[in-house]
Chain A
Amino acid sequence: KAGVTQTPRYLIKTRGQQVTLSCSPISGHRSVSWYQQTPGQGLQFLFEYFSETQRNKGNFPGRFSGRQFSNSRSEMNVSTLELGDSALYLCASSLAGSYTDTQYFGPGTRLTVL
């Protein structure tokens, strides 16, 4: 089975621009979660989607948004980029997002904001 894939792997943007990241979950997985990883803040939860609905949201400003499509693929969007948005963005998928499910992570998208 193919793992979680994320595109693009690397991205360079300038302040004020917007960016869209894509995540394809493992086949059959319906839950997709997004995390931001930075040296200062570590791994922080952004949001989780299940069956095209946002089920959970972390403490990030409204500039961070996402969506999930009927095939479970997910995108996250960051508008009006700030320097502090530079990070590794990780996507994880699981079967149904329940307590006992394992989340499997993609390789991440490294976003650099100049």
Chain B
Amino acid sequence: AQSVAQPEDQVNVAEGNPLTVKCTYSVSGNPYLFWYVQYPNRGLQFLLKYITGDNLVKGSYGFEAEFNKSQTSFHLKKPSALVSDSALYFCAVRDSADKLIFGTGTRLQVFP
């Protein structure tokens, strides 16, 4: 069965520093991976996805993610964090029935 793991419940980073939110996956077949962000009392906003091709995927709001097949990882990154990036981040994988399987989420806190 497809699954994703987000090993960190919370990530703290100072504004202006680079940030990384980790995600590892387990799939049979090709992985189709997604990152979403959720602000308080809001739905999920799509950031980026990996379907095939270049291992470095660029997305919205300056975020990017690196797909690493050997390590089965799809970590979300941003070179310089903003206080406004503070939110809940979800990694997800598309399973064989086309539904999204989500990780447990990582709360990102960016301090001024």
Asked if A98 meets B36 with Cβ closer than 8 Å, knowing A42-B104, A43-B90, A108-B43, the reply is no
**Bound complex: CA A4 to CA B45 (Å):** 11
Please classify how large the interface on chain B is, using the bins under 10, 10 to 19, 20 to 34, 35 or more.
Answer: 20 to 34
Report B-chain residues with C-beta under 8 Å of the C-beta of A90: 43-44
**Bound complex: CA A20 to CA B9 (Å):** 33
B43 touching A106, Cβ below 8 Å:
yes
B44 touching A98, Cβ below 8 Å:
no
The listed residue (B34, B97, B105) touching A42 by CB distance below 8 A is B105
B102 touching A107, Cβ below 8 Å:
no
Please classify how large the interface on chain A is, using the bins under 10, 10 to 19, 20 to 34, 35 or more.
Answer: 20 to 34
Report B-chain residues with C-beta under 8 Å of the C-beta of A48: 98-99
- The 0/1 profile, CB within 8 Å of A marked 1, for residues 70-112 of chain B is 0000000000000000000010001001111111110000000
**Bound complex: CA A105 to CA B85 (Å):** 19
The listed residue (B45, B97, B104, B105) touching A56 by CB distance below 8 A is B97
**Bound complex: CA A55 to CA B98 (Å):** 9
> B22: CB under 8 A from chain A?
no
A100 touching B51, Cβ below 8 Å:
yes
Report A-chain residues with C-beta under 8 Å of the C-beta of B34: 102-103
- The 0/1 profile, CB within 8 Å of B marked 1, for residues 70-89 of chain A is 00000000000000000000
**Bound complex: CA A35 to CA B102 (Å):** 10
A33 touching B43, Cβ below 8 Å:
no
B99 touching A33, Cβ below 8 Å:
yes
